Structure 1
Amino acid sequence: MKRGRKRQHNPNIPGHIDQTALPRDVYFDHRGSGCWYILYFNEAGRRQRANLCAANVTLSELHRLIEDRKGIDRDSLQYLCAEFHKSLQFTSLGQKTQDDYCYSRDVLLDYPTKLGKPLGELAVKKFTPALIQRIIDKIAQQGTPSKAAHALRYLRRTMQWGRNRGFVTDNPAKGIEAPKERKQRRLPDSAVMTNLIRFAHQQGQLKRGQPGACSPYLWYVMEIGYLCRLRGIETITLTDENELPEGVLTNRRKGSRDNIVRWTPRLRAAWDAAKTVRNEIWQRRKKPVPFRPEQRFLIVSASGGQLSKSGLDSAFQRLIIQAIDKKVLTEEQRFGMHDFKRKGITDTVGNRSDKQEASGHKDESMMDVYDLSLPIVNPSAE
């Protein structure tokens, strides 16, 4: 439904009311002692008036009356989640985090309860730690501990936001025991990884729109990510500024230390291929070349702009599905973009200290996550 024309200032409305924030279709009748009323269309399509309340109510009470008429329960979990998702604290999050929060919200709101209502319709002020723990435990016992852990993190974040803004008086999700998530530390086989990169190189040379064609950047994104031990987001944010005479200057996230990865023929070939494809796209699209090297991204999309992380993930998943369909790898051998970093760290020559220095991790315990190699040691005695 289209919005009506913008409200004009009404001097008869009480001064404590912000007229710009009035609910839609709510009006003030100044005659007599004054009252608030709404206009609506009845079943016959005729406009009717219904009085709401006296003139001395607050703006928040007006909104509550309208919400009650529309069946909106301000005490419910569903209402709290809706308000959180409209807040700056939610909209300023990254797209992947927003998607994860939306998924977790749907899991919680649709969760069935013994009252015959979904969890989203229950009053959030009556939630207790014991209730939340039972729900999280049941979701985990259904064979989905990761879903339960994500739902708990979302609920804890949402209720803390609500507590800080007066929606609830406490955060009962705080201190709840999180389920142990299954660790997914995949290490692709060297032959499988090489075959996938070759397959991506081959399919990337097909013209866009041809059957089986994939994004031309996939093969060298995988190569650079593996050789430099980079995350996907770190690879696609490399620029000409990261190209040094000695090698590639990394741009690691999450507090890891940067280093310079020395040039090898293999790394040089992947880097130069990325620049060639980028320059061809810019020339074909007549894109202006940025003057500053830190603005010239190495990996670009088909339009010539900076490639997004979601775009990379989508293209990689399409490649994996096609590779499985064409028997390049099996479903059991499937792995993700982040596993190129794990494979690169595992394949780094040297001891654990050498691998930690090459990966940039400050904490030695991260080698338990990324170094899946088996050390070769001497026996205890000759």
Structure 2
Amino acid sequence: MLYIPKITASPVIGFVEFGNVPLSKITPATIKRFLEKFNDKPGARDHIRKTISSAWTWGREYYDEVPRNPCLELKAAPRTSRTRYITDDEYAVVYYIAPSFWKAMMEFAYICRARRIELVRMTHDQILEKGIQLRRAKGSLDEITLWTPRLKKAYQIISELRRETKSDYLFCDTNGTQMKKDTLDSQWQKIMGQAHKDGLLEERFNFHDLKAKGVSDHEGLISGHKTLQAKQVYIRKTQEVKGTK
């Protein structure tokens, strides 16, 4: 768990702190040096910068003593997008050894081009007559993925697995509660480790790479993103297109 210093107001008027440091002493360079500790985790680094900036903006709205937000003077550090594309063979061997729960998760992630969190939060009311309604996270556009034989099979797998479990969630644990991130991470790493140990997989991949494969393989490259820039993060293979007539 990452600790983010909180902006607080002291009983002494005119003294506002960032952790134990007066805000007046915090400069853009201070924030930059702090964020450099997370250079090996660009996602976490950007999240921390945005959290600090949001807290600082909140402080400015309530306390006259809060100086200008130093995060506004920092440029967002460039991020290198992942280029890992999962081949059909790699997908097939991992699917083969995966437990039933993960078989269904893999198929939903790939076919619906879904993040894991979107599947973990998926409820039974999203199972529609025409297909699967995906409530996308991070401000992306919701959509309905129409039924295909393969998607129906995946749904049958998870439905049968949790047939005796009462829960609002489709991908719940055996007690019917929402799956925890640490549990999911541990189980997925175990699958990856087994595939690598058995010589079935030379290079491991993240579960999130399944969405990228789904977008890359999709005829319309549909990802739910509102901008081309966001969409390009998930296109992992060179597309073949028809020439202009």
What's the TM-score bracket when you normalise by the shorter of the two chains?
A: 0.7 to 0.9
Q: Contact (CA 8 Å) 1:232, 1:309: kept in 2 or not? A: no
Corresponding residue number in structure 1 for 2:75: 177
The whole-number CA distance in structure 2 between the counterparts of 1:316 and 1:145 is 20
Residues 245 and 150 (structure 1), Cα distance of their counterparts in 2 relative to 1, 3 Å cut: closer
Corresponding residue number in structure 1 for 2:233: 369
TM-score by length of 1: 0.51
The whole-number CA distance in structure 2 between the counterparts of 1:184 and 1:272 is 32
Q: Which residues of 2 match residues 79-118 of structure 1 at below 5 A?
A: 79=20
The whole-number CA distance in structure 1 between the counterparts of 2:107 and 2:206 is 14
Aligned identity (percent) is 28
Q: Which residues of 2 match residues 146-185 of structure 1 at below 5 A?
A: 146=42, 149-166=46-63, 168-185=66-83
Amino acid aligned to 1:324:
H
Residues 304 and 162 (structure 1), Cα distance of their counterparts in 2 relative to 1, 3 Å cut: same
Q: 2:236 is paired with a residue of what secondary structure? A: coil
The whole-number CA distance in structure 1 between the counterparts of 2:152 and 2:232 is 30
The answer on 1:340 being equivalent to 2:217 is no
Q: Contact (CA 8 Å) 2:23, 2:67: kept in 1 or not? A: no
Residues 373 and 144 (structure 1), Cα distance of their counterparts in 2 relative to 1, 3 Å cut: closer
Q: Which has the higher contact order (CA 8 A, sep 6+)?
A: 2
Q: Which moved more, 1:187-196 or 1:254-263?
A: 254-263
Corresponding residue number in structure 1 for 2:4: none
Residues 315 and 152 (structure 1), Cα distance of their counterparts in 2 relative to 1, 3 Å cut: same
Q: Contact (CA 8 Å) 1:136, 1:152: kept in 2 or not? A: no
Once superposed, what is the RMSD of the aligned Cα atoms?
Answer: 3.4
Cα distance per residue 1:302-357 (max 9 Å; x no partner):
22323244533332233223333333323xx22212211111111123xxxx233x
- The alpha-carbon deviation at position 267 of structure 1 amounts to 1.6
Q: Which residues of 2 match residues 137-148 of structure 1 at below 5 A?
A: 139=36, 144=40, 146=42
Corresponding residue number in structure 1 for 2:97: 199
Corresponding residue number in structure 2 for 1:277: 161
Q: Which residues of 2 match residues 1-382 of structure 1 at below 5 A?
A: 60=11, 77-79=18-20, 123-133=22-32, 135=33, 139=36, 144=40, 146=42, 149-166=46-63, 168-200=66-98, 204=99, 216-280=100-164, 282=165, 289=166, 295=168, 297-330=169-202, 333-349=203-219, 354-356=220-222, 359-377=223-241
Q: 1:271 is paired with a residue of what secondary structure? A: helix
Q: 1:324 is paired with a residue of what secondary structure? A: helix
The whole-number CA distance in structure 2 between the counterparts of 1:148 and 1:233 is 20
Q: 1:260 is paired with a residue of what secondary structure? A: strand
- The alpha-carbon deviation at position 276 of structure 1 amounts to 0.7
The whole-number CA distance in structure 1 between the counterparts of 2:206 and 2:153 is 23
Residues 163 and 143 (structure 1), Cα distance of their counterparts in 2 relative to 1, 3 Å cut: closer
Residues 163 and 274 (structure 1), Cα distance of their counterparts in 2 relative to 1, 3 Å cut: same
Q: 1:373 is paired with a residue of what secondary structure? A: coil
Residues 150 and 191 (structure 1), Cα distance of their counterparts in 2 relative to 1, 3 Å cut: same
Q: 1:173 is paired with a residue of what secondary structure? A: helix
Residues 262 and 144 (structure 1), Cα distance of their counterparts in 2 relative to 1, 3 Å cut: closer
Residues 77 and 319 (structure 1), Cα distance of their counterparts in 2 relative to 1, 3 Å cut: same
Amino acid aligned to 2:173:
S
- The alpha-carbon deviation at position 150 of structure 1 amounts to 4.9
Structure 2: tracts of 5 or more residues without a match? 1-9
Q: Contact (CA 8 Å) 2:84, 2:236: kept in 1 or not? A: no
Q: 2:184 is paired with a residue of what secondary structure? A: helix
The whole-number CA distance in structure 1 between the counterparts of 2:141 and 2:97 is 33
Q: Greater Rg, structure 1 or structure 2? A: 1
Q: 2:233 is paired with a residue of what secondary structure? A: helix
Residues 302 and 376 (structure 1), Cα distance of their counterparts in 2 relative to 1, 3 Å cut: same
The whole-number CA distance in structure 1 between the counterparts of 2:45 and 2:158 is 41
The whole-number CA distance in structure 1 between the counterparts of 2:243 and 2:57 is 55
Amino acid aligned to 2:103:
W
Q: Contact (CA 8 Å) 2:85, 2:237: kept in 1 or not? A: no
- The alpha-carbon deviation at position 221 of structure 1 amounts to 0.5
Structure 1: tracts of 5 or more residues without a match? 1-58, 62-73, 80-121, 205-215, 283-288
The whole-number CA distance in structure 2 between the counterparts of 1:239 and 1:144 is 35
